[in-house]
Amino acid sequence: MKSIIVALALLFSVTAGAAQQSLYQQFGGKQGIADITEEMLFQVGGDERIAHHFEDVDIVRLHRLLTEQICQVVGGPCEYTGDTMKASHRNLGISTGDFNVLVEHLIRAMEKFDIPTSAQNQLLAKLAAMHNDVVEE
Amino acid sequence: MVSKSLKLVAAVILSCTSATVAANDGTRLLATGGATSIEGSAGGGIVPWATLSSYAGESQVGATAALSEVSVDDFRLSVAAASVNFYNRLEVSYAKQTFDLSTIGGELKQNIVGVKARLYGDLVYGDWPQLSAGIQHKTNQTFALPNAVGAKDDSGTDYYISAAKAWLDGFGHRTWVANLTVRNTKANQLGLLGFGGDQQDRRWQLEGSVAAFINRYWAVGVEYRQKPSNLSFAREDDWKDLFVGYFPNRSLAIVAAYTDLGSIAGLDNQHGWYLSLQASF
Ligand code: HEM
């Protein structure tokens, strides 16, 4: 029981150390974010559960907009120039399951680039808040 | 000592850990399927959660098979369980419990059929928790001892309502999950000692769990389960445990816990270990 408490204390102190870097820096700046979104879109394209949603989409443009948006969400010096989440996902028929699959690929991409769990969670929570605007129920 | 059904579930678990394909198609996030509780419902270890078993999303059907063992000073509980989740809406589960009275001698058995329906919400998204309601119908296979110590019935049904919520970016920037369950029951020691007694009959009980995810794969948490005390022959205590959960992928969940089950059948201070393996399809 004691060892679990020690392990927990250690983990939270690791988190505190990471906090000295800004969230944007922990994502590797604009280039780091661009790499993550590229990896995510690459994985999404190969996942038959949701790939069909992106068949007629300009992926280069989507990559640019997603990168801008995430950069802005994590406090970076970027301005998102795309549409609102509600407008851009209207009538796409995206389900909560689809949303989860995209999140799963984002997590995989973040893990590939060794983004700390605490930084991942901060981004994920902000994206999860957009669930209602993206998903149609 | 290992019964046939236990062996069967073990074989199923082993064979499916290599075939990870089915569960990997599930459209829910890692660990949101939870583990299999000792009564067969998806949950933690001793508490059923509002979450439904497996990783089946809204247009999928999923299943789980699980083996659990609780080993305390004078007793040992073995559980073999399986469940099916229809469209992340309805969970049907079955569990076989064998309670080995190591010190007293003999064994008690019961089977549990569970049904749980997700009524509202989602564990991860939205401001409100996921809300589910369920029943567990329990049938004693051995009633001589429960009868002798004053239990009124050899079967009984528990009703419960559960609420569960995850905070992706909770305290310490970790993902936290909490579950609260309110249960109406007349079961003595889960029902292994029969149902109802000379002290009281049906009662409302509160059960709760809190867990923190260290990363995507590892969680630590605590559980607390209020217990009734229907039999004057022996006091029943609330149960608690401290657990570690490991979710290496969406096919496998392993939970280990240190448990405090208090007094059972007159033998006090029952402490020990809990281990549970769950395969998801
Ligand atoms: C929090 C999660 C999500 C974020 C932050 C996000 C972000 C974006 C952004 C920035 C755009 C471009 C908007 C524009 O064109 O101005 C976009 C478009 C799009 N998104 Fe998402 N998205 C999310 C979830 C999803 C999911 C789950 C799917 C489907 C599985 C999806 C499918 C699409 C499609 C198909 C487009 C292109 C629409 C078009 O060009 O007509 N998105 N998304």
Q: Is the pLDDT of residue A119 over 80?
A: yes
B21-35, B80-94, B106-120, B207-221: least confidently modelled range: B21-35
Query: What ipTM is given for this predicted complex?
Result: 0.86
- Contact list in B for residue A122 (CB cut-off 8 A) is 169, 173
Q: Is the pLDDT of residue B2 over 70?
A: no
Q: Is the pLDDT of residue B280 over 80?
A: yes
Q: Which of A12, A100, A125 sits opposite B169 (nearest CB)?
A: A125
Burial label for B36, CB within 10 Å (0-12, 13-18, 19+), is: buried
H or E stretch covering B258: strand B252-260
Q: Do B214 and A117 touch (CB under 8 A)?
A: yes
Quickly state the pLDDT bin for A20 (edges 50, 70, 90): confident
- For the entire predicted model, the pTM comes to 0.89
Q: Is the pLDDT of residue B20 over 50?
A: no
Which pair of structure tokens corresponds to residue A68? Answer: 């801008």
Q: Is the pLDDT of residue B1 over 50?
A: no
Q: Which sequence spans correspond to the domains of chain A? A: 23-134
Ligand 1 atom with the shortest distance to the CA of A98: 30
pLDDT for res A19? 53
Ligand 1 atom with the shortest distance to the CA of A99: 27
Which pair of structure tokens corresponds to residue B148? Answer: 């002798």
**CATH superfamily entry for domain B2-280:** monomeric porin ompg (2.40.160.40)
Q: Is the pLDDT of residue B140 over 60?
A: yes
Which among B159, B124, B155, B122 has a CA at the least distance from the CA of B48? Answer: B159
Distance CA B238, CA B139 (A): 22
* CA dihedral of B117, B122, B244, A106, whole degrees rounded to 10: 140
Q: Is the pLDDT of residue A41 over 70?
A: yes
pLDDT for res B6? 56
pLDDT for res B17? 46
In CATH, what is the architecture of A23-134? Orthogonal Bundle (1.10)
Q: Do A11 and B27 touch (CB under 8 A)?
A: no
